[in-house]
Amino acid sequence: MSERITLTLRAALIRPLGAECISADRFADLSEQEIGALELWDGHASVALGDVFAIRGDHSSSVTIEGDLAHLDGVGTAMRGGEIAIAGSVGGGVGARMSGGAIRIAGNAGDDAGIAMAGGLLAIAGSAGDRAGAALPGASKGMTGGEIIVRGGVGRDAGSRMRRGTLFCASVGEGAGTAMIAGNIIVAGDLGDGAGLGNKRGSILALGNVRVPPTYAYACTYRPPHVSLMLLSLRARHELLVNDEHVHGLYQRYSGDLADIGKGEILEWRSM
């Protein structure tokens, strides 16, 4: 049994490779040989993990992956526990349907990061693509728990149909929180257009600029008590650069989407 399993990419990937088998909780029960025999998917063809990665260690739920992994998709899919550290960037679908454990990415992540996530932590030091924390195609619910922390920007449709959990990012593209059922989207910078359309009970916290949709109505300017709690908790646990003026600041509350049940909100920071 090793303290940690390290996968080192043998040669640069030239096209997407499906790596849904790489999951920290699954590795905890496997020998080096068994890990090497797991199947990656190159289109319809399978390839042994051991042929793509050099493997060091066995029987551990702490996994490090090294190399340029921008074409490696599905890492940590349905992961239930353990920890994966990705030394650089990674492809799409990282942490999809994960329900526990932590995935930490030193670089960027592709599209569908944390899609349909139910629990655990997905921490991305760089940026993420479209549909972070959103729903799988055709599914009624997106993210149902856990936290996605993106220190950079996030693409379109982030948190779409989110049911629970928290997505934090520096900025976000169009359509954030579309058809959001509940949960929290916290954006330290600017939000793209169409944020919160179809929102039922979700909270979108805009510390930067936001164009509030016309189907939202202004309610009041106040200090939301849960915002202090939420931002202090995130700052303490993830060492995020959240200012005191945001923690204890005044926010404009917009209720919406009034085209739906209207119990959601966009909280736009105004001043200390």
Partner 1 sequence: MDIRGVQIDDTFAEAFGMRGARIIITAKNQKWAREAANKMTGFATSVIACKCEAAIERELAPDQTPDGRPGISVLLFTMDSDSLPKRVIERVGQTVLTCPTTACFDGLPGAAERIAIGKPLRTFGDGFQGSKVIDGVRYWRLPVMEGEFLIQESFGKARGVGGGNFLILAESADAALDAAEAAVDAMAGMPGVILPFPGGIVRSGSKVGSMRYKTMIASTNDAFAPTLRAITKTSLPDGVNSVLEIVLDGLDFRSIAMAMQIGIDAACRPGVHSITAGNYGGKLGPFHFYLRKIMSGDVEDAPKEGAPA
Show contacts with partner 1 in window 205-234 (CB under 8 A).
220, 222-226, 228-230, 232-233
Tell me whether residue 145 or residue 194 sits nearer to partner 1 (CB atom). Answer: 145
**Residue 46, H or E segment:** strand 45-48
184 binds partner 1 (CB under 8 A): yes
248 binds partner 1 (CB under 8 A): yes
Cβ 89 to partner 1 shortest distance, Å: 28
Per-position b or e across 203-221, b if 16+ CB within 10 A of its CB = bbbbbeebebbebbeeeee
Tell me whether residue 88 or residue 145 sits nearer to partner 1 (CB atom). Answer: 145
4 binds partner 1 (CB under 8 A): no
Name the segment binding partner 1 (CB under 8 A); options: 78-86, 129-137, 153-161, 242-250: 242-250
* Distance of alpha carbon 4 from alpha carbon 17, whole angstroms: 23
Show contacts with partner 1 in window 135-164 (CB under 8 A).
164
Tell me whether residue 211 or residue 226 sits nearer to partner 1 (CB atom). Answer: 226
Strands annotated E in 87-227: 102-105, 121-124, 144-154, 164-172, 184-187, 203-206, 217-222
What is the DSSP secondary structure assignment for residue 182, as one 8-state letter? Answer: S
Distance between alpha carbon 74 and the CA centroid of its chain, in Å?
13
According to DSSP, the residues that pair with 46 across neighbouring strands are 41
Binding site for partner 1 (CB under 8 A): 164, 184, 201, 203, 220, 222-226, 228-230, 232-233, 237, 244, 247-248, 263
